[in-house]
Structure 1
């Protein structure tokens, strides 16, 4: 029977002695605990009522990876504590798999588990379980017709997130991020409309609107004596439009913006889609003076091929690695390699997703050129950006 005053832990481990030991540790930490050694029984019975599940990855019949997949398929998304005596890399990869299935991983532990560290972990989890839970806001679904009308009515706005130079501490650039100032729903973020835009061929219309706004507003920034360049995101559809370099040059000329003050950010997948057309467009953009940034570096399929073939001037290290680098050794190694690679290819290196000062200082120490993230500033409207820059 479940004691409502105690947090409940369930242990799935084929080694009965070890499962018994973890059960004892959990009870010392004032948890209610139970275990199962037979994976088939666990999967065929009703899912146990628990606050966390300890899962051994290396078991006969069904391994822990299969169990994660089956739990996700059945909608059982209890937080996991992953355990393995097999291989740290497998443990790390299993954590990524669980997260991809939207299952929280509280910790990864290697066998043999030290009693004191296990009890301390359960104590920390107990504290977080007692924190008030806020209901998730339900996201509004918008039709392609509503979004297109919003674009044609110029309801979309841009917020700008600053990038700072890690050697001078000066503002170097701002990234333009699109928002929808909805007449009824207020400020709507991209996760509520961007997939519809991409699916229903509205990306060209949206990019044109973003370009128009950003280039016009950059004139206001220049007039405020704030010397920064501007970065905007472009999609695969834009990069295979052969007329883009000429259109962009005409737009910047009209608004008195020098092409070298505009950086176009592309994801790796955008370049790979139609390689011949995209290399044509990218080279002509560079020849007209625009800068090119490879965004989310390290998350695509052919990162090195992109750097070899396309004329990029900037490499952006993906936030997934930057936000984990202080506590994840493999993420730290990837960040170091990206910085070294960028330097050797004579590219600027930008770390995105910098959430705290410790990460910022570590990036400075590693020789990264630029950083952006909430540790510096959140995205803001152009007038707020000008005021913020005056204070910075």
Structure 2
């Protein structure tokens, strides 16, 4: 007997529909199992594993969201999920965001009556995009002492992700992203070392190191491109340190970089943890002519309060909204409203996570000023970043020069 594609679990209280999905799954090569209820599904998932689950949101007295939560709590994230429902479009989109928030692999969201071609495509997706969770290696065992030694040995550095002005096409800045290369672990993700440094009280040293590296490596970009700014993230644990503005100013002086060429990025939730101290620090940074950006805007719990109370000069719309805006009307409304709010507070608007031309056209249309993301470039080492920025800006200048006569004639 030939090997199957994998195991398919169909959870649906409608007999006809679960039989239909099961038959299509079997034709695609799945070993299909059907259950009619939440209780039957949880009992089965507690003792058996599946590669994909087709889930109807309405399950009698229980619902599909409860089952999604069960799957997340049991850490069954190697199983892709296809959601099926007769609910309206907004509920479907919200349910999809629930699945994303629970970090569950998502293969599709189908409305009733079922489009069988779309169902087949959703069930085929796991084979076209195999999950790597089963084979992913565990994160390295990093200790605070190892981080301290890495700082002493100059193992930390930065990469630069370009920021492009939408009106001119020129690169007007770059975000400096922390990187750490070790002999024994290779490259260590910031998602691994930042929380450890936070807990160990090492973020002041890590931040000073990254800031110095960003400014020293970015100095040529600043000198060659008038108005160019380097953005550096500031840890939440430092937003209660009232000496932070003076330390940043000293690093700027030491690296011979003008204050106006630096923007510090602070997350929304960080800024609201201690508003009075954050306000003290942000005001002093602005007085020193250092830019301040609210990062990941919209993902916290107090977006409007942040804009009203704290003196940010730039707003960065979180990539989770940008990535969904071309296909999700609700996300589009959030992006549109965020831009309007920023303009009302006289702030520059930066869109993060731009990955395709559709998203670029949308953020340009609603009035974003600057964009960054893989559509333009990933994070780059200094030499590659300098070359990429030079080539991009030369091309933008040529296009602007060639367009001038036509513009004057019109």
Whether TM exceeds 0.5 here: the answer is: yes
Question: 1:347-366 alignment to 2 at 5 Å?
Answer: 347-366=347-366
Change over 3 Å in CA distance of 1:76–1:133 after alignment to 2: closer
Moved more, 210-219 or 40-49: 40-49
C-alpha contact 1:224 1:386 (8 A) present in aligned 2: no
Q: Which residue of 2 aligns with 1:85?
A: 86
C-alpha contact 2:83 2:109 (8 A) present in aligned 1: yes
Change over 3 Å in CA distance of 1:56–1:47 after alignment to 2: farther
Q: Which residue of 2 aligns with 1:20?
A: 19
TM-score (normalised: structure 2): 0.87
How far apart are residue 277 of structure 1 and its match? 1.0
Q: 1:74-97 CA deviation, whole Å, 9 max, x = no partner? A: 343311111222343333333233
CA distance in 2, matches of 1:151, 1:74: 38
Q: Which residue of 2 aligns with 1:104?
A: 105
How far apart are residue 322 of structure 1 and its match? 1.2
Question: 1:33-48 alignment to 2 at 5 Å?
Answer: 33-45=32-44, 47=47
Moved more, 206-215 or 228-237: 206-215
Q: Which residue of 2 aligns with 1:320?
A: 320
CA distance in 1, matches of 2:120, 2:222: 57
Q: Which residue of 1 aligns with 2:69?
A: 69
Question: 1:146-165 alignment to 2 at 5 Å?
Answer: 146-165=146-165
How far apart are residue 271 of structure 1 and its match? 0.7
How far apart are residue 312 of structure 1 and its match? 0.7
Change over 3 Å in CA distance of 1:124–1:183 after alignment to 2: closer
How far apart are residue 155 of structure 1 and its match? 1.8
Q: Which residue of 2 aligns with 1:178?
A: 178
Gaps of 5+ in 1: none
Q: Which residue of 2 aligns with 1:230?
A: 230
Question: Number of residues paired by the alignment?
Answer: 390
Change over 3 Å in CA distance of 1:82–1:214 after alignment to 2: same
How far apart are residue 294 of structure 1 and its match? 0.4
C-alpha contact 2:227 2:261 (8 A) present in aligned 1: no
Change over 3 Å in CA distance of 1:22–1:171 after alignment to 2: same
How far apart are residue 132 of structure 1 and its match? 9.8
Change over 3 Å in CA distance of 1:32–1:134 after alignment to 2: closer
How far apart are residue 198 of structure 1 and its match? 1.2
CA distance in 2, matches of 1:350, 1:42: 44
Q: Which residue of 1 aligns with 2:8?
A: 9
Give the SS at the match of 2:32. Answer: strand
Change over 3 Å in CA distance of 1:223–1:44 after alignment to 2: closer
TM-score (normalised: structure 1): 0.90
Q: 1:255-304 CA deviation, whole Å, 9 max, x = no partner? A: 33221211110001111111111111111111121111000000001011
Give the SS at the match of 1:159. Answer: strand
Give the SS at the match of 2:299. Answer: coil
Q: Which residue of 1 aligns with 2:391?
A: 391
How far apart are residue 365 of structure 1 and its match? 2.7
Give the SS at the match of 1:193. Answer: helix
C-alpha contact 1:162 1:173 (8 A) present in aligned 2: yes
Q: Which residue of 2 aligns with 1:52?
A: 52
Question: 1:259-278 alignment to 2 at 5 Å?
Answer: 259-278=259-278
CA distance in 1, matches of 2:390, 2:301: 41
Change over 3 Å in CA distance of 1:42–1:389 after alignment to 2: closer
Moved more, 61-70 or 83-92: 83-92
C-alpha contact 2:295 2:315 (8 A) present in aligned 1: yes
Give the SS at the match of 2:256. Answer: coil
How far apart are residue 47 of structure 1 and its match? 5.0
C-alpha contact 1:3 1:32 (8 A) present in aligned 2: no
Moved more, 309-318 or 197-206: 197-206
C-alpha contact 2:12 2:56 (8 A) present in aligned 1: yes
Give the SS at the match of 2:110. Answer: strand
CA distance in 2, matches of 1:7, 1:282: 54
C-alpha contact 2:232 2:265 (8 A) present in aligned 1: yes
- Ranges of 4+ aligned residues in structure 1 off by more than 6 Å: 131-134
CA distance in 1, matches of 2:15, 2:132: 35
How far apart are residue 251 of structure 1 and its match? 2.8
